[in-house]
């Protein structure tokens, strides 16, 4: 007899590739959701009570669904939710505070993954279409005209999503400064990065590593934020221009390119269109690194007076390719 309240066990099968083996790296409960992290995927467990909360059908079975096609061998996953689940469990004494912080880390992880999804969509479609563009041009360059070239689908949507999720990530990352140091923060002032930086300077000091990080990263943080605003509310001196795959002089073609004019915000304007994939790759790396460093520096500050524990970077031989966590908390070295 099936009893939905009994303990359950099941094998994870990837709905996109049932033959693919998933090596489970971690199982976490976040915001009431039970999540399973394999090295190449993230799954959410759907208990019978989740599917049928009013218990109208006692024979309702448990299930699960795949929510991301990347797992712990992806650095964005390993160095966010997995890494800080381990670190926060030792750095924060209050269980309630730790759970709240970890849920916020998961929210930021999802925003980073959405940025990666947009970038990957542009990258994959561009790579798939390049040979087709070459074939079209080669087959028709001796004729009077060249047919229309294929385009990356939904390019503008993915550019917009990249910047909107990126801005939201930056806002949520700054919120950790409220959690750790009491910096004033609310939804109305979330994107006032200059005020956040000033508060840190006045309260932690100009030489504090977090203030130095905020100062060093100020320019690109403002560009990501203002590009998001410009896409939603374009006007003179506040615009983002996107160009899909297009034919160029000499029977050549260009991959997707873009440029911004943020002169209204005193951030200047690009004179030339530049490669979206290269530029967005840099922004994504910057956002992931900024998020990690803000949390690491905050935790390091929390542990500065702890006589037993300290934050350390793992040596290369102790970093697993299936889950490349870089930092851990261990017993403080006498040195």
Q: For 209-239, what is each residue's pLDDT tens digit?
A: 999 999 999 999 999 999 999 999 999 999 9
Q: What is the DSSP letter of 317?
A: G
Contact by Cβ (8 Å): 44, 64: yes
Tokens representing 207?
A: 């030489």
Provide the 3-class DSSP secondary structure of residue 330: strand
Rounded Cα–Cα distance for residues 218 and 215 (Å) = 5
Mean pLDDT of 114-142: 97
> How much is the pLDDT for 110?
98
Q: What is the pTM of this model?
A: 0.94
- For residue 10, pLDDT over 70 is answered with yes
User: What sign does the dihedral 102-34-287-266 (CA atoms) show?
Assistant: negative
Rounded Cα–Cα distance for residues 190 and 166 (Å) = 13
Q: What is the DSSP letter of 86?
A: H
Rounded Cα–Cα distance for residues 58 and 151 (Å) = 50
Residue 333's pLDDT band (cuts 50, 70, 90): confident
Cβ neighbours for 324, distance < 8 A, ≥ 6 positions apart? 73, 75, 78, 79
The CA-atom distances, in angstroms, between 98 and each of 32, 66, 180, 321 are 15, 26, 11, 27
- Which residue, among 111, 84, 110, has the nearest Cα to 98 in the 3D structure? 84
The CA-atom distances, in angstroms, between 319 and each of 35, 150, 250, 324 are 23, 42, 49, 5
pLDDT > 70: percent of the chain: 99
* Residues β-bridged to residue 64: 45
> How much is the pLDDT for 335?
54
Other C-beta atoms within 10 Å of 95: how many? 9
Q: What is the DSSP letter of 3?
A: -
CA-based end-to-end distance of the chain: 61
Contact by Cβ (8 Å): 275, 152: no
Tokens representing 120?
A: 């990957």
Mean pLDDT of 292-296: 98
Rounded Cα–Cα distance for residues 228 and 321 (Å) = 34
Mean pLDDT of 35-47: 93
Listed by start position, the domains of the chain span 77-308
- Which residue, among 287, 261, 237, 290, has the nearest Cα to 118 in the 3D structure? 287
Question: Within 13 Å and on the Cβ side, how many CA atoms surround 72?
Answer: 26
Rounded Cα–Cα distance for residues 173 and 108 (Å) = 7
Q: What is the DSSP letter of 82?
A: I
> How much is the pLDDT for 4?
74
What crossing angle do the helices spanning 276-302 and 95-140 adopt, rounded to 10°?
170
Q: 72-111 pLDDT, tens per residue?
A: 999 999 999 999 999 999 999 999 999 999 999 999 999 9
Provide the 3-class DSSP secondary structure of residue 61: coil
> How much is the pLDDT for 13?
84
């Amino acid at each position: 007899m099936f009893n939905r309240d009994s303990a359950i066990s099941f094998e994870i099968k990837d709905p996109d590739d049932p033959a693919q083996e998933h090596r489970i790296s971690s199982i976490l409960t976040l915001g009431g959701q039970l999540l399973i992290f394999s090295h190449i995927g993230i799954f959410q467990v759907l208990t019978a009570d989740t599917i049928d909360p009013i218990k109208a059908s006692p024979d309702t079975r448990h299930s699960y669904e795949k929510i991301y096609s990347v797992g712990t061998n992806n650095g964005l996953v390993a160095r966010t939710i997995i890494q800080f689940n381990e670190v926060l469990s030792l750095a924060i004494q209050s269980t309630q505070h730790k759970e709240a912080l970890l849920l916020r880390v998961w929210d930021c992880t999802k925003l980073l993954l959405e940025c990666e999804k947009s970038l990957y969509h542009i990258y994959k479609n561009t790579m798939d279409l390049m040979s087709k563009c070459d074939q079209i041009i080669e087959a028709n360059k001796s004729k009077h005209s060249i047919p229309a070239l294929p385009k990356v689908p939904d390019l503008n949507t993915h550019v917009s999503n990249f910047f909107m999720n990126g801005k939201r990530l930056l806002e949520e990352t700054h919120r950790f400064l409220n959690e750790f140091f009491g910096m004033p923060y609310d939804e109305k002032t979330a994107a006032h990065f200059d005020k956040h930086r000033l508060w840190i300077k006045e309260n932690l000091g100009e030489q504090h590593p977090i203030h130095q990080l905020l100062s060093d990263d100020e320019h690109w943080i403002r560009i990501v934020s203002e590009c998001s605003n410009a896409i939603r509310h374009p006007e003179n001196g506040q615009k983002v221009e996107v160009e899909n795959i297009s034919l160029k002089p000499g029977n050549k073609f260009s991959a997707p390119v873009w440029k911004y004019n943020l002169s209204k915000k005193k951030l200047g304007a690009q004179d030339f269109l530049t490669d979206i994939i290269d530029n967005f790759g840099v922004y994504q790396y910057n956002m992931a690194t900024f998020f990690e460093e803000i949390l690491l520096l905050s935790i390091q500050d929390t542990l500065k007076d702890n006589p037993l524990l300290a934050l350390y970077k793992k040596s290369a031989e102790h970093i697993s390719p299936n889950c490349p966590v870089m930092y851990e908390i261990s017993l403080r070295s006498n040195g």
